[in-house]
Structure 1
């Protein structure tokens, strides 16, 4: 299968997952870029940030037009994450490629387990209380660090943080999280580009375009399919993939 065709297929597939499940799908971007499109892990993290950031930007525009974005709060949270995202990206470029993939596999494992947990009661803006500024600061810094370090959007953390720390309802939190992801991704990209990585821009742009197409299709499918069952199936797939990545990379660490 040609490289371009694989880019089209997997870009659309990941966008489809994101559209159906609303979060977690971007965790597959780095493994796909490394193991199927044969990118270097550091290049894959940078490319993932560009893909995730552009899709988040386009998605945030759609949500903003639908009235589901609180720009002021999203920018506040996102600005906290910009510094840590840049710092995380700089640290990431210094790591051994094997260690980077192993850490990514551990993150996938955590996400899969979180997705498999029974859903807690939904916190709404009417029941949530705004938390102290320092707690909001820590939330923004943590989300930004994760985004820059491993090249993921972090929506699975940002959405609950916006609900619990800023008192948003779930619909507004999802839309606002895309603004946060776009901001922190931009800072992470800046941190990685300083390492002078030559990026395959054709594949990145095709992947992004197909991801957005899949995102639109997945959003429509989500209204017709049992999303809870889909999320469980996807979580089990991510869990299995994380274990495979660990098995592949742990033996390659220097201590082994």
Structure 2
């Protein structure tokens, strides 16, 4: 096994660890790992990310369900429009987007490049939010509990993000659950994992007829990531959430700059 592959599988452990600790962020790390360490095309990468994050999140959601932390009523209200949006994008919209979208100043903007640059932009925005936010989400002005139309709309929007970029969207789901539904943070993280599991795995089903899947590699990567989520859930009892969020924000900032440079300038 080459050294770069060893780093890739260590990255798989990190994907699960982040999901277990924070309830989000795993796919933001998984996609660059698949693309740059294992040299998999971004379209296939986003599909692999959905499977890995979906499977790992399922394990985490089951553990949290045993502790009574998953709010299933809200999870399904949020998840149903989200996974419909994900499936439609993966099954019908992505396949018809041309490989070369447009040419700008003699630079061909391909579908792969657009996906990675869009991912870098999302990572950049997430990192700035994590680094700069000092107040707890619970200190912000909150809307009425169970604002179903707004929850459904958020589900659709996050489903579209998931479909195009292959991200779980937990960094968007958790604030929604806290601000719109007023779930306690631990319940929001647990419910987020359940939502991510549902929409990611259903989104992956939309890819099965369109992509060739290397199941040996994907299952190996997923198994390591699953181990990481168990470790993350265990360590979450000992690590302060605010510090962890800030550190992860800096990691995302570095990764976003690296991805943008790689895609645009090399």
Q: Could you state the TM-score of these two structures normalised by the residue count of structure 2?
A: 0.85
Q: Which runs of 5+ in 1 are unaligned?
A: none
Distance (whole Å) between structure 2 residues aligned to residue 14 and residue 198 of structure 1: 23
Distance (whole Å) between structure 1 residues aligned to residue 5 and residue 125 of structure 2: 31
1:157 alignment counterpart: 172
Are 2:258 and 1:244 equivalent residues in the alignment? yes
Residue from 139, 142, 147 that aligns with 2:154: 139
1:102 alignment counterpart: 117
Distance (whole Å) between structure 2 residues aligned to residue 236 and residue 142 of structure 1: 25
* Count of residue pairs brought into register by the alignment: 249
1:75 alignment counterpart: 76
Are 2:149 and 1:148 equivalent residues in the alignment? no
3-state SS, counterpart of residue 178 of structure 1: helix
Q: 1:243 to 1:122 in 2, by over 3 A?
A: closer
Give the C-alpha shift of residue 146 in structure 1: 1.3
8 Å CA contact 1:13–1:214 kept in 2: the answer is: yes
2:196 alignment counterpart: 181
8 Å CA contact 1:34–1:41 kept in 2: the answer is: yes
Are 2:233 and 1:233 equivalent residues in the alignment? no
Q: Which runs of 5+ in 2 are unaligned?
A: 100-110
8 Å CA contact 1:148–1:184 kept in 2: the answer is: no
Are 2:13 and 1:15 equivalent residues in the alignment? no
Distance (whole Å) between structure 2 residues aligned to residue 67 and residue 100 of structure 1: 37
Q: 1:122 to 1:75 in 2, by over 3 A?
A: same
3-state SS, counterpart of residue 161 of structure 2: helix
Q: 1:70 to 1:234 in 2, by over 3 A?
A: closer
1:91 alignment counterpart: 93
Distance (whole Å) between structure 1 residues aligned to residue 114 and residue 195 of structure 2: 27
1:202 alignment counterpart: 216
8 Å CA contact 2:22–2:189 kept in 1: the answer is: no
1:29 alignment counterpart: 30
